Structure 1
Amino acid sequence: MKKLLTALLVAGCTFSAASQAQTADPKLEWAVKVVALQQADLDGIVGQLVGTAAQDIVAGWAPRFDSAVPKARQAKATEEFNTELAKFSADANKIITSKVGQVNSEALVPAYMERFSLDELKQLAAFFESPVIKKYKAATPELVDVFLKKLVASTQPDVLARVKQFDVAASKIVGSAPAAPAAKPQPQKK
């Protein structure tokens, strides 16, 4: 799918430029190439946008959900809510993804052309195509996982102690007994 989007982006930008004029700026081809070489990163941004929108929905509905749904029905309602949230996320992903090529052509490619010389665009393309950058991008998820596991392990006791302090302070403010301790977050398995 990503290769198809990249091919469509390159074809769309190239066709658009070719239809505008035969003597188009020579930087256009290289700007299109640089944007296409970053398509995986752009796809990640789309995922982040969808995730943020889903988080906003959950944040808005959580208080209403907790107060309006009887305890006996919460498990079933949670399942239904999560199903609808997954549908929303899939739809939002399609909506945003459908605009990526257009926004690349109308905004990102011209921005690269404006900010970089032809030689710099060629250098950027060479950089993104280099084997070491490809290896770096392939290794990044694993490297982030290694970092996060160590960071969680080294900070978890202090963070959990701070959660307890917060619970005591919040209980005084709200006027109730502290909530049960939060479950310890488990490291994600890959």
Structure 2
Amino acid sequence: MKSLFAVALVALGAAAGAQSTAAKKELVAKVLILQQPAIEGVARVLAEQPAAIMMQQVRMVMQTRIPPDKRDPIAKDIQADLKKYGDDVLPLMRDRAIKLAPSTIGAMLDERFTEDELKQLIALLESPVNRKYQQMGGEMQKSLSDKLVADVKGSIEPKIKALEQAIAGHLGLPPVTPGADTAPVAPAATSKAPAKAASK
């Protein structure tokens, strides 16, 4: 009789554990839905990064090796290629990021947060104050980036030109004309990072 009672208790405990796990997974899924714009932002930055690096190289070549009268047609062709790249790669990266989120971010949330903590996190993410702050994220980053670029441009651009001269020398390319335009310091791409839970 005692053994049957023990088995029943174990069964009830297992059922309760399963219910708890299912409830927790639902909470994790809700967090991921609330964080989907941030997840898509990460995918966008990763997708755009190779093109941004290539564009820096293109600007240097255009300004140092392409005659001014030929720059506009070439630039238009390159912009068309970049648009095609973005149209192909951005949706792919976004979809893959959303698909991988449960097994990466979701798994970490499930492992490190209790159900109560997940409920608190959801309340934080859904709060009007947090939403207002998140909506300002890109604007605040752009404001700082623009100000930073304007502030350091005078001191950074000579260093960029010196670096271009050094690299051109290593590659055996014609030296950069001192008066030639140099690729300006560009603001970093903005993206919303996943919101962090408030520290206890």
TM-score, with normalisation over the residues of structure 1?
Answer: 0.67
Partner residue, 1:180: 179
- Once residues 162 and 70 of structure 1 are traced to their aligned partners in structure 2, the CA distance between those partners, rounded to angstroms, is 24
- State the distance in 1 between where 2:135 and 2:60 align: 40
- Seen in structure 2, the aligned counterparts of structure 1 residues 149 and 29 have a Cα distance that, compared at 3 Å, is same
Distance 1:179 1:170, change over 3 A: farther
Identity %: 24
Deviations 1:153-190 (A, max 9, x none): 322222234345556766877674643243584998xx
Q: Could you tell me which residue of structure 2 aligns to residue 116 of structure 1?
A: 113
Distance 1:116 1:90, change over 3 A: same
- Structure 1 counterpart SS, 2:33: helix
**Measured at CA, do residues 177 and 130 of structure 1 come closer, stay the same or move farther in structure 2, by a change above 3 Å?**
closer
Identify the residue that residue 76 of structure 2 maps to in structure 1.
79
Q: Which residue number in structure 2 is paired with residue 92 of structure 1?
A: 89
Q: 1:150: how far off?
A: 2.5
1:35-50 matches, within 5 Å, as 35-50=32-47
Report how far residue 124 of structure 1 moved. Answer: 1.1
State the 1:89 CA deviation. Answer: 1.0
Number of aligned residue pairs: 168
Task: Compute the RMSD of aligned alpha carbons.
Answer: 4.0
What stretches of structure 2 of length at least 5 have no aligned partner?
1-17, 188-200
Can you give the 5+ residue segments of structure 1 that lack an aligned partner in the other structure?
A: 1-20
TM-score (norm 2): 0.64
Greater relative contact order, per chain length (Cα 8 Å cut-off, separation 6+): 2
Whichever of the two has the greater Rg, that structure is 2
Residue 149 of structure 1 aligns with an amino acid whose one-letter code is D
Closer/same/farther in 2, CA of residues 120 and 185 from structure 1, 3 Å limit? same
Residue 179 of structure 1 aligns to a residue in which SS? coil
